[in-house]
Amino acid sequence: MLDLTSLLDAALAPFALVDPHVDWQDALLMLLSPVFFAVVAVEWWHFRQAARPRNASPAKPVYDLRDSLDSMTLGGVYTALDVVLVLAFVLPAMGWVFEHHRLSTIELTPLSFLALYLGVEFCYYGFHRASHRIRWFWCAHVVHHGSEHMNFTAAMRQSWLYTFAGNWLFYLPMVWIGFEPKAVLLALSINLGYQFFVHTQWVGKLHPLIELIFNTPSHHRAHHGRNPRYIDKNYGGTLIVFDRLFGTFVEETEAVDYGLVRQVHTHNPFWLTLHEWVAMWRDLMRPGPLALRLKHLWAPPEWERPSALKTDNRAHASERAPRPHDATRP
């Protein structure tokens, strides 16, 4: 039977000459980075020459230089930090679970890797949904939604504090059932690599069967919209099937207004990273019963204490109409 572990280790041999601690996830990031920047350049050139896409806001160009530089700065620092934190903390923590608490040992074959990938996709759906519905996780994820321009550089806009927030915890079940941590992170990296290519206005709707099964540019444009009908929808990474199963799917049917409803207007990467953490801390420090103060950590981001004014901080709150579940920001 084909042993994917041995094949992947052999493929990484050249990277080990540069860094003996390199793992599959880091190598994939190294390989894909030039591809990402090349695709950005091609997309920028395309929209520089072409007419505005039909689903774009008439007031906003597809690319804004300062906005794209913000996204690339955030993404560059995130990538460097992630490599360090994965090697120093995440892999050891996952390794401890694998060594001492795994239920079984699953050999990495093409079939088992497919099962792993589907499992990681489900874990990603849980992480992404929690990142919109639990304020602690939203404090990190809000960074990704901060751009008002949908293009490939928006995919690079990531929080430096994802590891601190605990995003890696959502993938521990795959380690617990018996998949090696490096394999789990490799599957996640492939998933995230795929997602880079859905951050675009260049591609319209695809074949109905593809739109039925996969996360597509159309589905992800809706996810990034601050239109009331698009908020808290389309959490899938590679697939859209879990959104369809769990009632979080929405079709892209109207022009998408990108960004946060209560937009943060700054180019300071530190404030772009920290603004929602600061807002949550201020809410925690407001006088009141301890239970209600602590609830700001795990309640939905739009949650307010019973006596709170409607003008309280809501960084992605809708100022027009509440969502059906009475939530006004993801």
> What count of other Cβ atoms lies within 10 Å of the Cβ of residue 96?
12
pLDDT in tens, 204-257: 999 999 999 999 999 999 999 999 999 999 999 999 999 999 999 999 999 999
pLDDT of residue 136: 98
Indicate if the pLDDT at residue 320 is higher than 80: no
Interatomic CA distance for residues 330 and 261, integer angstroms: 10
What is the rounded average pLDDT of the residues 6-22?
Answer: 50
pLDDT reading at 110 higher than 70: yes
CA distances from 326 to 154, 252, 319, 329, 330 (A): 28, 22, 12, 10, 11
Do 330 and 231 form a contact (C-beta atoms < 8 A)? Answer: yes
* Residues sharing a CB contact under 8 Å with residue 290, sequence separation 6 or more, in sequence order: none
% the chain with pLDDT above 70: 81
Q: Which pTM was predicted?
A: 0.85
Give the span between the Cα atoms of 21 and 321, in whole angstroms: 51
List the single range of 42-51, 111-120, 176-185, 261-270 with lowest mean pLDDT: 42-51
pLDDT of residue 191: 96
Q: 269 with 170: CB under 8 angstroms?
A: no
Query: What mean pLDDT comes out for the span 150-166?
Result: 96
Does residue 77 surpass a pLDDT of 70?
A: yes
- CA max distance for the chain: 63
What span, in angstroms and rounded, lies between the C-alpha atoms of 3 and 8? 9
Range with the poorest average pLDDT among 83-87, 113-117, 132-136? 83-87
Q: Does residue 200 carry a pLDDT above 80?
A: yes
